[in-house]
Amino acid sequence: MVYLTRKCEFSASHYYHNPEFTEEENRRVFGKCANLNGHGHNYTLEVTVKGDVDPKTGFVVDLKDLKEILNREVLEALDHRHLNKEVPEFFRQIPTTENLAITIWNRLQSKLKVAKLHRVRVYEMPDLFVDFYGEA
Amino acid sequence: MKAHLTRRYIFSASHRLHCDELSEEQNREVYGKCNNPHGHGHNYALEVTVSGQVDAMTGMVCDLAELDETVRRGVLERFDHVNLNLCPEFAALVPTTEKLIETVFHILKQNFKAAHLEKVRLEETAMNSFEYCGN
């Protein structure tokens, strides 16, 4: 079993706001992130897949395929977008880094045919990242 | 859904690796440059990983401000810009990064209850890093 990690970047804006909270609760729980005018980040995404090395190709996964899936399923949907307004998963969910990692996992998992998705790591900033392993 | 959240912090401290139970020569042999009598310092990078269910109302594993505050009070205020050898935690311990990471883990374990403390990772330099999960 070998693990392969592909890294990419995307930039997006968001805000945190739960309509079930009062305005005061939103400000208390989400702080500056509750500003409804939004703000943005340069996100770094690391996708790790695992599998046996194919004896013919020496690959765990064809990187061209992985890149294409990443571009289509994740980057085109998220890069230079407003997460709350343009990404359906966040019409109701708050686009925290936690939910972003889960969303990216869900978008990729069914599309990967050869290797198995092991981990999605999303850096919101160099000093803050979330890992999701598909755990319930 | 269970997610792991990691936050990175920086602090700077000095230390000297020296064990009183070893001879001068043994200390030099074991610790090399780290045994130089006046000590030296590092910029330590600390990564704290916590895990838990993502809260449906907040979308978060835990309140980041609470984690920051616990690390600030428990670790950064205690170890940033100090000589580790003079800290009470290292009165009877050689302040290697192994001992420092165990100490940091136990401080955080005791003081942070909002999510499960999974792992602490400590970079002594860009080339050396240590991980401790509490066992």
Query: What's the pLDDT tens digit per position in B53-102?
Result: 999 999 999 999 999 999 999 999 999 999 999 999 999 999 999 999 99
DSSP label at B90?
G
Question: Which pTM value belongs to this model?
Answer: 0.94
The CATH T-level fold of domain B2-132 is Tetrahydropterin Synthase; Chain A (3.30.479)
- Residue extents of the structural domains in chain B: 2-132
* B66 Cα to chain A: minimum distance (Å): 11
Distance CA(B121)–CA(B10), nearest Å, equals: 12
Q: How large is the ipTM? A: 0.92
From the candidates A8, A33, A46, A98, give the one annotated as an active-site residue. Answer: A33
Residue spans per domain, chain A: 2-132
CA distance A89 to A84: 8
CB-based contact B51:B6 (threshold 8 Å): no
- Please report the DSSP string for A8-35 in residue order: EEEEEEE----TTS-HHHHHHHHGGGG-
In the CATH scheme, what is the homologous superfamily, with its name and number, of domain A2-132? 6-pyruvoyl tetrahydropterin synthase/QueD (3.30.479.10)
Contact B75, B106 (CB under 8 A): no
Q: What is the pLDDT of residues B113-123, one digit of tens each?
A: 999 999 999 99
Question: How distant is the alpha carbon of residue A41 from its chain centre?
Answer: 13
Q: Which two tokens stand for residue B76?
A: 């950064």
Cα angle A113, A115, A116; round to 5 = 95
Q: Are B8 and A128 inside 8 Å of each other by CB?
A: yes
